[in-house]
Structures are given as C-alpha cells and as structure tokens.
Chains A and B, each alone.
Chain A
Amino acid sequence: MQSPLLTALQSEHPEWFSEVITAFGETTFVVPREHLVGACSFLKTWPESRFDFLADICGADRGIEEEPRFEVNYHLFSTTKYHRIRLKVVLNEDDVHVPSVTAVWRTANWHERETFDLFGVIFDGHPDLRRILLPDDWQGHALRKDFPLRGYEPYSLK
C-alpha cells in the first residue's frame, strides 16, 4: 500500500490505528477492537482503498506468558487496486472477544469459525459461531500454545 494513502488515513482517523508497522514490504495496522468494524467498513468502501476482498482471517498465540497473548490478523485485498494490508487486533487472555466482521464481508463467516475453533476467540455478533474443523464436543482449543501437540488423550466420540 502506498504511503500517501497511509498518511491520509492516519490523519483522518488517528483513533483507528494504535500502531502502524511496515516490514518485509507489508503494512500492518494495529486496530483497537472497538473500532474494528468501523475501520473495516470504511476501508471497504473508501474510493482510495477499496478493500472489497477479505482474503483471510487468522489467529495467533504469541505465547503463554505474553500479554496481550492473542492476536487476530485480517488480510485485506482490493480487487481493483491490487494492494494489500493487514489489520491486527490484539487480545488479552481473560477477554478474548472481538466484534464480528461478517456484516462487512460475508466470507468472514468460516474464517471466524475456524479462529474460534482453534484459538477460542469469540466473535461477537457472528450469526453461527460453532466449531468447524474439530468435533463439537472437543475440549480446549488446539492451536493454543498450552495445548499439547498430541492432545490430552485419544479422542473418541461420546
């Protein structure tokens, strides 16, 4: 993403971006979660950015001792301008709630279900927040760092 756009965005909505990281040729905006949906719908329709394509949502666990421990990354793409950007929401372990962006891009539905399934991040306002890859009665969230690689016990359907 070009830097003039970046500066324009920051001057217009300084409260949306608590931090801007540019590394490896990619731009990351750290967004406070209360501004996430507002920022997303603005970025989707703003003629300068036109991020109409949500490529991916993925969670990450920074480590058990880290605070904030979790992060959710949104990879946006513009099908007309061909630029990319990453939005990042960081979360404390005791409050893993993020507003859902399914109202902005409908493709977020399964991505958010996957992140909920594997990290236990709860997307408020999601229409159908169920596990997607693991069975419904699975205990724990498999991609958290404190979940052992081979699980706690052999899984069997109850």
Chain B
Amino acid sequence: MSSATIPPQFEIVDRPLDTQMTISMGPQHPSTHGVLRLELVLDGEMVVKATPDIGYLHTGMEKLFEYKKYQQGIVITDRMDYLNPLGNNLAYVMAAEKLLGLEIPERAQTIRVLMCELQRIASHLVWLGTHALDIGAMTVFFYCFREREKILNMIEAASGGRLTPSYFRIGGLMMDLPAGFENRCKQFLDNFTKAVDEFHKLLSGNRIFQKRTQGIGPISAEDAIDWGLSGPCLRGSGVGLDIRRANPYCGYENYDFEVPTEPDGDVWARYMVRMREMKESHKISVQALARLKPGSVKADAPKVVLPDREAMKSHMDALIHHFLIVAEGFDVPAGEVYHPIESSKGELGCYIRSDGGPKPSRVHFRGPSFVNLSVLPVMSEGEMVADIVAIIGSLDIVLGEIDR
C-alpha cells in the first residue's frame, strides 16, 4: 500500500499526544536490580528525561570504617558490591598494604588473581542471567545460576562464606586453599567454555534479544570517558581501557589475556564485551592455576598478620602477637593512598587516609556502579520505556555499592 492512500488524520506521527507525564519507576521494580528509583518524564512511551534517585540502601559504611580497626573493615567491604565481594576485599587490603609497605608472597598473589577472576565470572553470570530475564529470556537465568553455584561452592570451600568471603586479609590470605581445591577448580574450568558457548546459543542468535539491544542506549567513546564510565561499559564504547593492563597489580602484567572491546557503545556492545570477558577470565584462571606453587600465603609481618594456629600453640611470641592484633589492632603509618583495581563493573578505587593508629581516619570507595549509573539520563533520553530496563541491565549496577 502506498502512503498516498492513507488519509492525513491516520498518518503515523512520532509524538502522538504531545503531553508529558511523570511516573516513578521503582524502588520496588524488579528490573531496577535492587532499590533504585527512577523519575521518568514520558511523552507517550518515549522517555524525555530520566532522573535516578538513589540512597535507599545507604547504611553509612564509610562512616563505620572510621570506628573499626583496619582488619575489621574487610568485613564491611564484602557488603558493598555483593556480587563481587572478593574484588572489594582486594581493593581495600591492597590500599592498606600500600600504606604499610607489605610484600605479599607469590602464592598469595596468584591465589588472589585466581579467586578474583572466578568471582568476576560469577558476577558476570548474575548480570547475564538477570539482564536476559529483564528482556524476557528466562531460560538463560537457570543456566547462569547453575554455573555460578559451582563458583560459589569453590569460594565457600576456600573461605567459609559464599557471598561474604572476607578471604583476602591485610598481608595475604585468611588461609591456604583447601585440599582438593585445584582439582575441583580444574574440573570447573574444563567445562566452562562449553557453558559460555551454550549461553551464546541461547541468547546471541535470538532475534528478539538482538532487536531489544542493538542500537539501544548508545554512548560515544568521548562521552563515556567524560562521564567517567569504566569497565565493560567503557570498553563497549570502543575504549580498550582495563586497570589490569593500565596499572597492573597482583602480577597481572605476567598473564596473557585480551581486553575485549566493541565499537558501537550500545546495549548489545556491552553485552558482547562481558560475554567475551568471561572467556578471558577463564583464560587467566587457567594460567593462575598452572602457576600455583607451594609457599606461604601470608606476608612476613608478625605485627600485622595473624600467626598460624599451630605456631600459637608452641611459640610465646606468636601468642602475644595474636592477642595484640586482635585486641588492639596494628598501627598504620600516617598518609593517604588511592588504590584502583578492575572489578567486574569497572574501576573500583579505595581511598584510605590514615592519621596513624589502628583505625583509619577516612575510607572512601569509588564504586564503578555509582559512576556508571550517573550516565543513565544521557543514555535513556529519547528511548522507549521498555528500553530503560535493557539499559539498566547493561550497566550492571549493584545498589549496595552505589549507596554504600
């Protein structure tokens, strides 16, 4: 039918009503991934303006740090980005180690890399499952959580906690890996690439998923840098920035991995970056596992690192150090440091300011989700209401880290 046959009153127009309506999305909306509230100004189904309202989960963690000893602070960090607790542990303990000037043994470094990469995979799996679920693909969720469960079981075996491991301590690790861990990990890694291919089969070729993600919520590379995007969101705009490469820590410079980038900057690009990143994390994990050599997992700093249980039973000084560290803590030299790491969401920076003494004067976390969410109004302007859900999913936000 040619357009000439349509009477003028039935012609398709972009803004049919030309009236605006303000609605509140969240804080209980399931696709806002926690307690995010969005104030949407709509024109029909088109978003004119989106204003995020955060703070519903604010628990004053940064204030609490100032009242806790350094080693007690580790437990608080678990609860920030609860999908990536080992990453938070790492940023915090490495900042404290920078102040203390501790040398971490090789084995502890390798285990840190291994555990962080497993955690990154687990975090991406939650993202993938929920992102697909938001868009309407339910099956992916079960496949993702099946794999994630295996990782959480491994983290539990190592640390005793599934979601709140507190496995990294100032000066090394809580304890060495348990017997049989390496075999278990190897078994998981052997099958994981197959699982990623399965996710691709389920989702990447799905025409609905493609239509819902391609060209949605685009952001250019210049805008992304100016808005402080980091992690997969930045790499989805074609900027190959990864803190593991830019400012290597824990010996990441010795691992062979790619930094995946996609040029388009839309939801689909961010999806593809994370999918490829899971394979890279797998690659790093395999290398780390191969590099594990016997050795100590704690730094040689008896006044900071808790002694082994066995040493306490036979050595007087070990018992005294244990008592003093637990009862009084350890003094940290005055000064300030900022330590960035690449968490699963982007640049996770920990700023610690010490005035000396066993408690920090100020601890601040640069949460990647906090900054990534601030871009939402820019990305969602002019999109449809239903696309907001896809855009939020592609940012991979965790409200625990945003509100702190």
Residues of A within 8 A of B (CB): 23-26, 28, 52-56, 58, 60-63, 73, 75, 77, 79, 82, 84, 86, 105-107, 109-111, 114, 118, 131-135, 142-143, 147, 149
Contacts and interface: CB of A to CB of B under 8 A. Distances in A.
A157 to B, nearest CB: 12
A98 B152 CA distance: 45
Nearest to B402: A133
Interface in B358-404: 361-362, 364, 366, 370-371, 374, 403-404
B225 A79 contact: yes
A149 B67 contact: yes
Contacts of B362: 58, 60-61, 143
B338 A26 contact: yes
Contacts of B374: 107, 109-110
A56 B227 contact: no
Contacts of B227: 106-107
Interface string B338-361: 101000000101010101000001
Interface centre among A26, A62, A107 (most CB of B within 10 A): A107
Interface stretch (B52-60, B260-268, B321-329): B52-60
A139 B211 CA distance: 47
B371 A110 contact: yes
Given A63-B361, A79-B225, A110-B371, 12 more contacts: A24-B336, A25-B98, A56-B349, A58-B364, A73-B336, A84-B338, A105-B226, A107-B228, A132-B54, A143-B62, A149-B60, A149-B63
B320 interface: no
A86 B362 CA distance: 16
A131 B98 CA distance: 33
B203 interface: no
Interface residues of B, number: 37
29 contacts: A23-B336, A25-B98, A26-B337, A26-B338, A52-B225, A52-B226, A54-B228, A55-B228, A55-B340, A55-B366, A56-B349, A58-B366, A61-B362, A63-B355, A75-B366, A82-B247, A84-B340, A86-B336, A86-B338, A106-B227, A107-B227, A107-B374, A109-B374, A114-B370, A131-B55, A135-B55, A142-B63, A147-B63, A149-B60
A7 to B, nearest CB: 23
Contacts of A77: 340, 347
Contacts, number: 96
Nearest to B226: A106
Nearest to B334: A23
A111 B404 CA distance: 14
A24 to B, nearest CB: 5
B241 A79 contact: yes
B99 interface: yes
Nearest to B100: A24
Contact of A56 (B98, B246, B351, B404): B351
A134 B340 contact: no
Interface centre among A52, A58, A105 (most CB of B within 10 A): A58
A133 B58 CA distance: 6
A142 B225 contact: no
A28 to B, nearest CB: 8
Nearest to A82: B246
Given A55-B347, A82-B246, A135-B55, A75 B338 contact: yes
B170 interface: no
B366 A79 contact: no
Contacts of A147: 63
B38 interface: no
Contacts of B251: none
B239 interface: yes
A139 B364 CA distance: 22
Nearest to B227: A107
Contacts of A134: 55, 58
A75 B351 contact: yes
B239 to A, nearest CB: 6
A105 B112 CA distance: 34
Contacts of A53: 225, 228
Given A75-B351, A135-B55, A142-B60, A23 B335 contact: yes
